[in-house]
Amino acid sequence: MKKKTIDHTELLVLTLLSGEDMYGYQIITELSRRSDRTFEMKEGTLYPVLHGLWKNGAVECYEAEAPTGRKRKYYHLTRKGREALKVEQEEWRTYARGVEAVLSTAPALG
């Protein structure tokens, strides 16, 4: 999954799924909770990302009962997805280090 700019949505979704299988709404709420509300995306736009990951084989999906009692479509990270996650994490860290490196050369601002 090579991209010129790193699409952090995929990275975040993959990371969440590496912990446990989740369904769409759950991912949104988890994302918001863990990032202390830094990441709040327009909820619908999660789905193209999920379906894209599914299409490429990074995740599998199945139907199961959610804690709310309703049936929801759960997403599960595949082995291929885990590999992709590792790669994306590496790329992100390299990017972050790069940004940090540039910032540290800036004069401190009052």
Contact between 52 and 39 under an 8 Å Cβ cutoff? The reply is: no
Is residue 30 close enough to count as binding another protein by CB under 8 A? no
* Shortest Cβ 92–another protein spacing (Å): 22
Residue 39 near residue 12 (C-beta atoms within 8 A): yes
User: Which residue do the tokens 């709420």 mark?
Assistant: 29
DSSP 44: G
Burial of residue 20, with CB atoms counted within 10 A of its CB: 0-12 exposed, 13-18 middle, 19 or more buried:
exposed
**33 lines the binding site for another protein (CB under 8 A):** no
Minimal distance in Å, beta carbon 72 to another protein? 6
73/97 with CB nearer another protein: 73
Residue 57 touches another protein, criterion: CB under 8 A: yes
Return residues touching another protein (CB under 8 A): 23-25, 28, 42-45, 47-49, 51-52, 54-57, 60-64, 66, 68, 70-73, 76
